[in-house]
């Protein structure tokens, strides 16, 4: 399974998530918003240093299907530039905000888009127990689990999620490893 985190980095929640991932030697994929990368480059450096995958999640988190093509390109390029400036690392995957995409947009972007197969809805309910229950209920081989590293309840749920995955003999890999 792939643990994926959207919308960060967050100055306090993302480091907590990184600490938990490090404790259990688990790799994850972080889909970063360019504006936040610019605000917290040191956290992005840590993500890369600890071996996690970085994904582009646009500069300002718009629904890209409502933008002109050049607007989509600007959102993508500006975010890539911020990530490279912070880490000397170019994102390997892209996640469109809200999962909103089209065939035209998929062909436009130079890296693969990654959606998800389990939406924890952590951004909506903000309840660690509900996040854990949703993962447990929908868990399957090669699952890509969507969470957000900007909400404290997600960090609060993560250790239990990892322990449950390990108990069920799942390995945590990056999103790219699922896609290969």
Catalytic residue numbers, as ranges: 6, 148
Cα radius of gyration (the chain): 15
Antiparallel, parallel or unpaired: β 144-148 and 29-32: unpaired
- CA–centroid distance for 104 within its chain: 23
- The string of DSSP letters for 100-126 reads ---HHHHHHSSS-B---SEE--HHHH-
| d(C-alpha 99, C-alpha 139), whole Å | 20
């Amino acid at each position: 399974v792939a643990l994926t985190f959207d919308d960060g980095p967050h100055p306090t929640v993302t480091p907590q998530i990184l600490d938990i991932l490090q404790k259990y030697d688990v790799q994850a994929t972080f889909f970063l918003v360019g504006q936040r990368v610019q605000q917290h480059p040191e956290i992005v450096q840590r993500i890369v240093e600890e071996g996690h995958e970085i994904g582009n999640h646009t500069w300002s988190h718009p629904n890209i299907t409502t933008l002109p093509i050049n607007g989509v390109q600007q959102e993508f390029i500006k975010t890539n530039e911020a990530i490279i400036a912070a880490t000397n690392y170019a994102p390997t995957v892209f996640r469109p905000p809200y999962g909103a995409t089209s065939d035209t947009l998929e062909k436009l972007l130079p890296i693969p888009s990654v959606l998800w197969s389990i939406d924890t809805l952590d951004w909506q309910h903000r309840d660690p127990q509900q996040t854990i229950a949703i993962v447990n209920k929908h868990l399957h081989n090669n699952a890509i689990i969507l969470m957000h590293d900007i909400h404290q309840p997600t960090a609060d749920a993560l250790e239990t999620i990892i322990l449950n995955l390990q108990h069920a003999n799942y390995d945590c890999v990056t999103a790219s490893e699922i896609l290969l």
